[in-house]
């Protein structure tokens, strides 16, 4: 079996642990729950994220929500603004040396 190339090895996939590099949730770590390929974004479930910091989507009236509702969703972040957590930790300098 051939070995994988470097690019394919570093590709972000569902259930990967990632670190957010830029944006509102910078320096946060979380797990990728969904990949939105059409607009190059990933949905990240950030550990310990308060409900107030989540994305709010207003839902119109429907049979499921007769009066409408506000949904609190995990943030979607552009794929260029996240990095695999193991790769992030590998590039950090070791303290004490």
- Across the chain, which has 97 residues, the per-10-residue mean pLDDT values are 68 91 91 92 89 88 92 90 90 68
Residue 31 to residue 45: CA distance in whole angstroms: 5
Q: What is the pTM of this model?
A: 0.74
Q: Are 71 and 59 in contact (CB under 8 A)?
A: yes
Residue 50 to residue 43: CA distance in whole angstroms: 16
Domain covering 13-91 assigned CATH 2.30.30.30 in the classification: yes
């Amino acid at each position: 079996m051939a070995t994988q190339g470097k690019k394919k090895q570093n590709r972000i996939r569902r259930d990967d642990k990632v670190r957010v590099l830029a944006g509102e949730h910078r320096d946060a770590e979380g797990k990728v729950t969904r990949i939105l390929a059409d607009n190059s974004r990933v949905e990240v479930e950030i550990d310990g994220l308060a409900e107030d910091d989540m994305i709010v989507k207003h839902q119109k009236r429907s049979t499921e929500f007769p009066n409408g509702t506000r949904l609190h969703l995990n943030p979607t972040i552009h794929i260029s603004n996240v990095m695999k957590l193991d790769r992030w930790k590998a590039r950090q300098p070791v303290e004490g040396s």
